[in-house]
Amino acid sequence: GENVEQHPSTLSVQEGDSAVIKCTYSDSASNYFPWYKQELGKRPQLIIDIRSNVGEKKDQRIAVTLNKTAKHFSLHITETQPEDSAVYFCAASLSANAGNMLTFGGGTRLMVKP
Amino acid sequence: DGGITQSPKYLFRKEGQNVTLSCEQNLNHDAMYWYRQDPGQGLRLIYYSQIVNDFQKGDIAEGYSVSREKKESFPLTVTSAQKNPTAFYLCASYDRDHEKLFFGSGTQLSVL
């Protein structure tokens, strides 16, 4: 089955700096890659996703890049703010149309210092 | 609040006891899921249901049971066979039209 590795497990940045979180996956058939943000004690929320037919997607200060050949994808947050502090999870799936197919990475705890 | 309600927020289990976690959604989603989250780890799939009266085991189903008698409800029972039940449990439902997974607010289960 699919295996998703996420790095780093913790990341501390100064407010205004950029943060990058990287994930690798094992199944070359995976074609859907969402990112979730989970604030302390709250539910994970989808912040951005990418499908295998594109290499990059942006939404304001957040971007995700995908390298299908190398089987890795990354989350980029620019101009970080204290409210970006949370745990971020990447995931990979064989299909966007099946939540049961999602395999999650281990999570990255991002701390943005004011 | 996302249309998925989990209760209770905190739950304590005694040795040898079965406990049931509630998950209700009013989003009219067919598919529902239960995930377990341990500290410093990702989400692991326990059980899922694609439609009423049908459910399938996920990656870590041992010691758990579910039912799906109504579209809106997908309760999870943590049985006494689950020897390490302390974790944060998340229920989710899937919006096929928008291809998005929505999570409930979670239940923290602890052993007394």
pLDDT the model gives residue B98: 78
Distance from CA of B65 to the nearest CA of A (A): 17
pLDDT at A90 over 60: yes
- Per the CB < 8 Å rule, is A45 touching B33? no
pLDDT at A1 over 60: yes
- Give the residue-averaged pLDDT of B38-43: 83
pLDDT interval class at B2 (50, 70, 90): low
- Per the CB < 8 Å rule, is A104 touching B43? yes
pLDDT at A98 over 70: no
Q: Is A4 on the interface with B (CB under 8 A)?
A: yes
pLDDT the model gives residue A100: 57
Across the interface, of A4, A6, A43, the residue whose CB is closest to B90 is: A43
Amino acid (1-letter code) at residue B15: E
DSSP states along B35-77: EEE-TTS-EEEEEEEEETTEEEE-TT-TTEEE--SBTTB--EE
Contacts of A73 (CB under 8 A, 6+ apart): A22, A23, A25, A33, A50, A64, A65, A66, A67, A90
Q: What is the pLDDT of residues A29-71, one digit of tens each?
A: 898 899 999 998 889 999 999 988 889 999 999 999 999 999 9
Distance from CA of A84 to the nearest CA of B (A): 18
Average pLDDT, chain A: 92
